[in-house]
Every structure is written in C-alpha cells, then in structure tokens.
Amino acid sequence: MDPYTALRRYFGYTSFREGQKELIDAILTGKDAMGVMPTGGGKSLCYQIPVLTLGGMTVVISPLISLMKDQVMALKEANVPAAFLNSSLSFEQTLKVYDYLRQGRYRILYVAPERLDSEEFLSLCRSLPITLLAVDEAHCISEWGNDFRPSYLKIADFVASLPKRPRVAAFTATATERVRGDIITKLSLHDPYCVVTGFDRPNLYFDVRYRRSRQNELLSLIRERKKESGIVYCMTRANVEKITDFLCENGINATRYHAGLSDEERRRNQEDFVYDRKTVMVSTNAFGMGIDKSNVSFVIHYNMPLSLEAYYQEAGRAGRDGAPADCILLYGEADIHMAKLLIDRKGDEEEGDPEELEKQRRFDYARLDKMISYAKTTKCLRGVILDYFGQSHADTCGNCSCCKTTFFEKDITVEAQKILSCVKRIRDRLGYSLGLSMTAQVLAGGEGQRLLSLGLHEIKTYGAMKELSQREIMRLITYLCDRGYLEKNESFQNFSLLPAAEGVLFGGEKVIMLYRKEREKTQKEKKSKNALSLSEFHEAKTENPSLDEKERSLYQKLVSLRTEIASTEHVPAYIVFSNATLIDMAKKRPTDSEAFLEISGVGRIKAMRYGEQFLSLIRKELTDGSH
C-alpha cells in the first residue's frame, strides 16, 4: 500500500503536511531520517505510515507512558495492530504482549527507553522483523535540551545489537542546532535525511497581557472559554496549588499536576483531563510532553517561562488538530525577578566544574532575555518567535495581540529627563541610588519617613512628577530600563544611568513610548454581553471563527454526540474525532457515507464505526432546519 492510500484509509486525511511525505519517502528508500517539526506538526504519521508500506515491524522509543497509551489507542481505532510495553502493564499483560510479538501480531510497538535494559526484551527483538526504529521526542538524548533522559543513550547500542540494522528515524520539536547535532551523533544516524519544517502554527493566536491582578484576569479568561479544554502553566508547585484552589472555589472544573504529587494522583488527574472529565489542567512544566490531547483550545501561562523555546513548546500544546486555539502569556515584572532567581539557584545547587556551570548560567540568562523581549515587544509576536527559530516571516501576522492592538506613540522626553535627572541627583546626594519604588516616591513628592530622613525632599526633582501616581512613574522608570537608558541592579535594587541617558539629558534626544490603547475587545465584550452570553460570544468568535450560526449549532451537537460515544467506548473524545474533524463536518454536512469519507480525519474504519450515528444526526438537523 502506498503512503497516500495509507494516509487516506487509516487516518482519513487527504494530503500530507509539510515534511511528512519527504520523510516517509526517505525512510522507504532505506535511509535514516530526522524530522524537526513543531508540536502538532504531525510527526507520528511519519513513523506510523512507512511500516504499512514496508512490511515488518516498527519499534517506537517514546519517553512517556501516557503518550504511548494514547497513540496505541488511536492506532487501534484506525485498525493498525499496535501495542506498548512499559511499567504500567501488569505482569500478565506484559506476558501477553511478548506472546503476541512472537506470533507477529503487531505492526507497531511502543516502548519506553528503560525497556532496553531488559535482556529478555533484547533477545526477543533479535528475532523480530524490525524494519524501522523510530525515536520520538529525540531531544531527550541531549543534555542541552529540556528533558534529558539518560536511558536514551542506550539506543545506539541497541540498534547495533540487532542482527539486521533497521532504518533509524528521529523526531523532535526542539530546534536548536546543538540538540540536533547531539541527536545525530548519539543515535549514530547514518547520513540521515533531515527535514526541518517551518515552525509557524497559523491556527494559534498569541497574546501577551501585562496584569497586576493576574488571578482575576485568569478567571475571566477561563470563564470566557467555558466548556473548552485548556492548560494553565505555573512556575512553581506552590502556585499550582494556589491557582487550582482558586479556580475550583470559583466554580471552574480544574485539576492539578506537578512532580510533588503521588504517582497515583498524577495519573488520575491527567486521565481526568484527557477524558474531559476536568476541563482545566493547572500544572508546572512537568505536565505536557507526550500529552497528545488534540482538543486543547487554550494554554495560559500564569508565569513567564525561562525561555522562548520552552514557551513555544508548552503553548504549542494548544490546537494540535489544527483548529483555532489561544496561547496567552500573563506576566509581570516579578516574573523576571523570579526567573533570574531560579537560574541562579539552579547553578548553586548543581555540582560540577564551576567554569561549565558559569557557562550554562550565561546561556540560561541569554535565553531568558529572549523570553523577556517577547513579553515586552510591541512587534508581531509570531514574528518574534519565528525570529528565534531563525525563520523568515512577514512583518505582521494579523493573528496575535500585538497585530491586533493599536499602539500610540507618546513623546515622554520631559518625563524621561525628570526621571534620569532625579536618579542622578539622588546618587549625588547619597553616594548611592535607591530602588524603584523609593525613586518613584521622590518624583511623586511623597512624604515617607525614610525619604524625609534622607533629606530627599530637598533635591531639585523632588515632586517633579506630582501629577502622576507612584505606579505610573514606576511604569515609566521600567520603560526607561527596558530601553537601555537606565540599568537596574537586581541584587541591590538600585539604578545607574547608562550612556544613552546623556543624549536625553543634554543632547536634545527624544524618547518615544509606545503604549497600547486599552483592549478594544473589552468594549465589544461588554456590548455583546446583552445579546449573547460571554461564553457563547467567545465560542462564536474564537473556537470556530469561520462557522456561521447554523454550523455552530450543528457543531455543538456533533460535540455532544462525540462525548456520548467516547464515554461508551471508554476512550478520550479526541480519539473518536478531533475538533478540526467536527468543524469540517459541520461545514460540509455530509449525508451519505461517501461524503462522510471526504471529511478530513475520517478514515475507513472510523467511517464504518461511527458513520451512521453522525450521519443520522446531520440528516435530522437538515430536515429540522428546513422546516
């Protein structure tokens, strides 16, 4: 069976995505391969399809139990005989899988890398017709990635121990050169055919919000997305606890995940989320790799992650099936402070060559800087991400909060002069400078005891910005730091002037600030409240922007039917059909099985299994609608 037929018949898709066909072809001609594609790019099909053409068996090394279970479930739904071996199986279940393997019943076997320690497994493999060894999440082999797994280092020896060397194919979403190089060397890939696809995910909407009251912002964001499935990422376990409680107290159906919970609770919470029994997962970055839940409609970062790479990987867990989804970053200045603290602490805790550690620390700081520029930019957010991955792009994407915001230019030269001169005068007077809020107090003409006792009310710029609140002044000071006029020393919390400040103070240079008009959406949201409920409004707007009212109502019925089927079949809803598939169905409204097969994501087996139920719902809807 050729790859196209396999794609259509088993997976129900009509065309390959970028990179898939080339990788599959390379594997079929007997080459090793490496595919670097973004999360949701469709890496799995690249190693699932070849075996259907080649014959023999594919062994997939995969880092996480949940991932294997998910993929095997999806393959079984598509009628591809598959199984997994990992520590979640009972002794009897394991024996059964070994038995079936000997009988040649499976085409695809997923194993955790730790399985390569088992002599029994190795000797069994020597007798199996393995034609392809696929290494998923291959960046786990590199110490430079985020998720190093030492047992990945055994893969090369495993390959070498097989009587006939299978093709080896590696897949990852991690784009850095260093990690890619590591993958090739440490897996001993033979002159691999490499594909690095574009990193853009057009269906994702990017949004950055600077908020003081993050909890309330989070709550209203989630309320606007009622019934949708989403992930909230926090930096620390303590935050996960706090936010989960807060959301639950406010009637959100949320659960939690972090490394401090028992295995049992983590498993249960994850399953609740995957099966849509809980709609919101609050977690640290421990959650997510290997979660193939394709109907995640939003990912909100409650704290800023440490690198843009980590951010994109986590945010990218939204909208895997290609349906529109939102990636929202909430951040505040405190995040930057906390991030630096975490990086320093990591350096202090780790053992090793001090020089190496210092190198790593500088590397981490440089990555953090990129993350901060993303949070603060007024340019196209997608553009900043693609720049990071070295990919060219248009100036604006039209699908991120910066592209959707009107920025206003404001000349703040006079304010800047007052601030810079105040910093200088404080320093002249005291011999040192003060922190952010004290400096702002002086400019605002505050009467705090410390301020008075230092005699700061006597300096010339005291009260020079009386008309502004202390908070507004602090914002301006921060802006001057971001723009390189002032330097903020983290540990002493004080400021010094940078050379650029000279130009403003004495050289007649202007300072322009870009600020955003309050979100237009808020107005619209308010207005729409009367007509539609907020959540309905949001569903109509973001979940499936291109659906008209009729289609949307059908879509919601299709979703309910899917929920029903999923619960009788004991599989997660997205394994039955993805959101993208239901959207396509709502638009095309097929009424016979031939048209049903044309829907993206409907393969033969699924059409046979579920076709009648969906078709009769659609037919009924059409008859009812025509009255």
Name the region of 463 (left: φ>0; alpha: ψ -120 to 50; beta: rest).
Answer: left
Subset of 291-320 contacting Mg ion (CB under 5 A):
none
CA dist., res. 488 & res. 228, Å (int): 41
**Chain positions contacting ligand ADP, by CB under 6 A:** 13, 16-17, 20, 37, 39-45, 292, 294, 320-321, 578, 600
Provide, rounded to whole angstroms, the least separation between the CB of residue 42 and ligand ADP. Answer: 3
Q: Where are the alpha helices (DSSP H) in 291-350?
A: 308-315, 333-349
Kindly tell me which of 192 and 446 has the beta carbon lying closer to ligand ADP: 192
H helical segments located in 64-146: 65-77, 91-102, 119-125
* Residue 294's binding partner out of Mg ion, ligand ADP, none, with CB under 5 to 8 Å set by partner kind: ligand ADP
C-beta nearest to Mg ion: residue: 43
Residue 580 Cβ, how far from ligand ADP at the closest point, in Å? Answer: 7
Distances (CA, A) of 624 to 550, 562, 617, 618, 620: 12, 20, 10, 10, 6
171 within 8 A of 135, measured Cβ to Cβ: yes
Residues in 334-393 at the binding interface with Mg ion, rule: CB under 5 A: none
Angstrom distances, CA of residue 98 to CA of 84, 111, 154, 327, 397? 10, 12, 21, 42, 51
Residues 6+ apart with CB under 8 A from 622: 589, 591
Q: Which is nearer to ligand ADP, 319 or 383 (CB)?
A: 319
Q: CA-to-CA distance for 505 and 127, rounded, in angstroms?
A: 79
Helix (H) or strand (E) holding 418: helix 413-430
The Cα 39–Cα 201 span in angstroms is 9
User: What tokens does 212 get?
Assistant: 């003081």
Q: Which is nearer to ligand ADP, 40 or 166 (CB)?
A: 40
Q: Which amino acid is at 528?
A: S
CA distances from 377 to 211, 373, 380, 425 (A): 15, 6, 8, 31
Task: Select from Mg ion, ligand ADP, none the partner in contact with residue 320, using the beta carbon and a kind-dependent cut-off of 5 to 8 Å.
Answer: ligand ADP
Give the whole-angstrom CA distance, residue 621 versus residue 460. Answer: 76
401 binds, among ligand ADP, Mg ion, none (CB under 5 to 8 A by kind): none
Distance CA 434, CA 442 (A): 10
Q: How far is the CB of 16 from ligand ADP (least distance, A)?
A: 5
Which of ligand ADP, Mg ion, none sits in contact with 39, Cβ below 5 to 8 A by type? ligand ADP
How many angstroms separate the CA atoms of 409 and 620, rounded?
Answer: 56
Dist. CA 248–CA 30, nearest whole Å: 53
Tell me the C-alpha distance between 48 and 381, whole Å: 34
What does 41 bind: Mg ion, ligand ADP, none (CB cut-off 5 to 8 Å by kind)? ligand ADP
Q: Give whichever of 43 and 301 is closer to ligand ADP, judged by the CB atom.
A: 43
The tokens describing 17, both together, are: 């995505």
Q: Measured from the CB of residue 604, what is the shortest distance to Mg ion in angstroms?
A: 24
> Where does 234-332 have alpha helices with state H?
237-249, 263-274, 308-315
- The least distance separating ligand ADP from the CB of residue 222, rounded to whole angstroms, comes to 24
Q: Which of residues 22-61 bind Mg ion (CB under 5 A)?
A: 43
In the region spanning residues 555 to 584, those forming contacts with Mg ion, defined by CB under 5 A, are: none
140 versus 504: smaller Cβ distance to ligand ADP = 140
The item of Mg ion, ligand ADP, none sharing an interface with residue 300, based on CB under 5 to 8 Å by kind, is none
Q: Which is nearer to ligand ADP, 214 or 317 (CB)?
A: 317
First to last CA, the chain: 46
Burial of 287 (0-12, 13-18, 19+ CB in 10 A): buried
Question: What is the closest distance, in whole angstroms, from the C-beta atom of residue 309 to Mg ion in the complex?
Answer: 16
Q: Which is nearer to ligand ADP, 40 or 590 (CB)?
A: 40
- Cβ 43 to Mg ion shortest distance, Å: 5
The option from Mg ion, ligand ADP, none interacting with 45 (CB < 5 to 8 A, set by class) reads ligand ADP
Burial 259-282 (b: 16+ CB within 10 A, else e): eebeeeebeebbebbbbbebbbbb
Q: 321 or 335, CB closer to Mg ion?
A: 321
> Shortest approach of ligand ADP to residue 11 CB, angstroms?
6
* 45 vs 231 by CB, closer to ligand ADP: 45
- Binding-site partner at residue 446 among ligand ADP, Mg ion, none, CB < 5 to 8 Å by type: none
- Alpha-carbon separation of residue 107 from 51, 57, 121, 197 (angstroms): 7, 5, 17, 27
Q: Of ligand ADP, Mg ion, none, which one does residue 40 interact with (CB within 5 to 8 Å by kind)? A: ligand ADP
Helix ranges, 515-572 (H): 520-531, 534-538, 549-569
Instruction: List the single partner that 111 binds among ligand ADP, Mg ion, none, CB under 5 to 8 Å by kind.
Output: none
Residue 298 bridge partners (DSSP): 230, 326
CB of 44 vs Mg ion, minimal distance in Å: 5
Q: State the nearest-atom distance from the C-beta of 462 to ligand ADP, in Å.
A: 58
Among Mg ion, ligand ADP, none, residue 115 binds (CB under 5-8 Å by kind): none
CB of 172 to Mg ion, least distance (A): 9
Of 17 and 237, CB closest to ligand ADP? 17
Q: What's the one-letter identity of residue 532?
A: L
Closer residue to ligand ADP (CB): 270 or 600: 600
**Cβ of residue 304: shortest distance to ligand ADP, in angstroms?**
23
Toward ligand ADP, which CB reaches closer, 14 or 123? 14
CA distance 456 to 443: 10
Choose between 62 and 142: whose C-beta lies nearer to ligand ADP. 62
Instruction: Give the shortest CB-313-to-ligand ADP separation in angstroms.
Output: 10
CB under 5 to 8 A by kind: which of ligand ADP, Mg ion, none does 218 bind?
none
Least Å distance, CB 353 to ligand ADP, is 36
Q: Out of ligand ADP, Mg ion, none, which partner does residue 578 contact, by CB within 5 to 8 A per kind?
A: ligand ADP
Q: Which does 37 bind (CB under 5 to 8 A by kind): ligand ADP, Mg ion, none?
A: ligand ADP
When the beta carbons of 35 and 446 are compared against Mg ion, the nearer one is 35
By the criterion CB under 5 A, which residues form the site for Mg ion?
Answer: 43
